[in-house]
Amino acid sequence: MNAPLPLDIAEAAALLRAGRLVAFPTETVYGLGANAKNADAVLSIYETKGRPRFNPLIVHCADLAMAESLAEFSPLARQLAEAFWPGPLSLVLKLRPGHGLADVATAGLDTVALRVPDHPLALALLRETGLPLAAPSANPSGRLSPTSAEQVQRGFAGKVPVLDGGACKSGVESTIIAIDEENLIQLRAGALAREEIERVTGLKVQKAATGAAISAPGMMLSHYAPNAHMRLDAVPEAGDAWLAFGPSAPFAGISRNLSASGDLREAARNLFAMLHELDGTGAKSIAVAPIPETGLGEAINDRLRRAAAPRE
């Protein structure tokens, strides 16, 4: 029971191209992969994991060329990629115009975390699909990261197809480094030691400060923060921008509707783009309609609450 499906690369690639999820092995842990350019596919990651918040996801690439089609590589970024890819190093870089990634994969940020995994099956799958794959660990939210296909299979009760590559070498997540000009900032410690990065670049790797003294504004925020003041569970007033959900009375000011039919998946798909649009009008305040706390609504509300929280 619950034996991993005997999925081969061609079948796995076909599922991913069709917008479905496939769990696949990397050298760190098994990832729950989706086409990072397809918002619905990425939202399925959240639904399947039962993840209560939208985090920016690490986007896995077949090679440096694919990564360079998505983000801006400075000479320093290229040096790190050439030294450590394929390998357990995720680089947070500025998105490139025309990148095509779904904003639910980057959680609405203008940066993206990219890496090339060091595993023959992961690389074969990435090459076969030709797609960047968003892939957080393939476990239900709050449970341990899986290092075998059997664990993935058990975790999701056999509902997610798994490419079986045996046991993962490392079991430790990738090291995440943000690059801002000549500054290297470690956002997460992981399988690649900081000293290795320092040895190759001759630069000191700063550890991400929690809260205070952020040397590279924007790079450190792992959530999108609008300029406008946000009021949640609100009724719009004159001067507000209005973010509606479900059937809503006409409003004289600027407004968007996350989903006129009250569909949470549609709302999740629209969330970041509509927040950016309303914030971009220069409105001082954004009033947001109540959104049910069920299914994807939990992650939507979490994101809105964090957008509404006072800035540190």
CA distance 89 to 81: 8
Q: Which does 28 bind (CB under 5 to 8 A by kind): Mg ion, ligand AMP, none?
A: none
CB of 137 to Mg ion, least distance (A): 3
Element (H, E) at 58: strand 58-60
Q: What's the Cα-to-Cα distance from 35 to each of 102, 169, 175, 228, 280, rounded to whole Å?
A: 9, 25, 22, 32, 28
Q: Which does 197 bind (CB under 5 to 8 A by kind): Mg ion, ligand AMP, none?
A: none
- Find out whether 133 and 60 touch, Cβ atoms under 8 Å: yes
**Residue placing its CB nearer to Mg ion in the complex, 4 or 140:** 140
CB of 53 to ligand AMP, least distance (A): 10
Site size toward Mg ion, by CB under 5 A: 1
174 binds Mg ion, rule: CB under 5 A: no
CB of 209 to ligand AMP, least distance (A): 14
Q: Checking phi first, is residue 181 left (phi over 0); if not, alpha (psi -120 to 50) or beta?
A: left
Measure the N-to-C terminal CA separation of the chain; round to a whole number of Å.
50
**Residue placing its CB nearer to Mg ion in the complex, 129 or 139:** 139
CA distance 83 to 79: 6
CB of 60 to ligand AMP, least distance (A): 9
Q: Nearest to residue 179, comparing CAs of 80, 92, 279?
A: 92
**Residue placing its CB nearer to ligand AMP in the complex, 32 or 291:** 32
**Residue placing its CB nearer to Mg ion in the complex, 30 or 272:** 30
Task: Give the pair of three-digit tokens for residue 224.
Answer: 């999108």
175 binds Mg ion, rule: CB under 5 A: no
- Find out whether 8 and 15 touch, Cβ atoms under 8 Å: no
Task: Enumerate binding residues for ligand AMP (CB under 6 A).
Answer: 55-58, 92, 106, 109, 111-113, 136-137, 173, 176, 187-188, 222
Place of tokens 């290795």: 196
Q: Which does 83 bind (CB under 5 to 8 A by kind): Mg ion, ligand AMP, none?
A: none
Q: Nearest to residue 80, comparing CAs of 221, 172, 168, 183?
A: 183
Q: What's the Cα-to-Cα distance from 120 to each of 20, 163, 181, rounded to whole Å?
A: 21, 12, 32
Q: Which does 176 bind (CB under 5 to 8 A by kind): Mg ion, ligand AMP, none?
A: ligand AMP
Q: In what order do the strands lie in the sheet with 255-257?
A: 229-231, 285-288, 240-244, 255-257
CB of 56 to ligand AMP, least distance (A): 3
**Residue placing its CB nearer to ligand AMP in the complex, 203 or 214:** 214
**Residue placing its CB nearer to ligand AMP in the complex, 180 or 266:** 180
CA distance 38 to 40: 6
CB of 140 to Mg ion, least distance (A): 10
Among 26, 35, 90, 137, binds Mg ion (CB under 5 A): 137
CB of 22 to ligand AMP, least distance (A): 16
CA distance 196 to 192: 7
Question: Minimal CB distance to Mg ion: which residue?
Answer: 137
Provide the 8-state DSSP code for 272.
H
CB of 233 to ligand AMP, least distance (A): 27
Q: Which does 58 bind (CB under 5 to 8 A by kind): ligand AMP, Mg ion, none?
A: ligand AMP
Q: Which residues bind Mg ion (CB under 5 A)?
A: 137
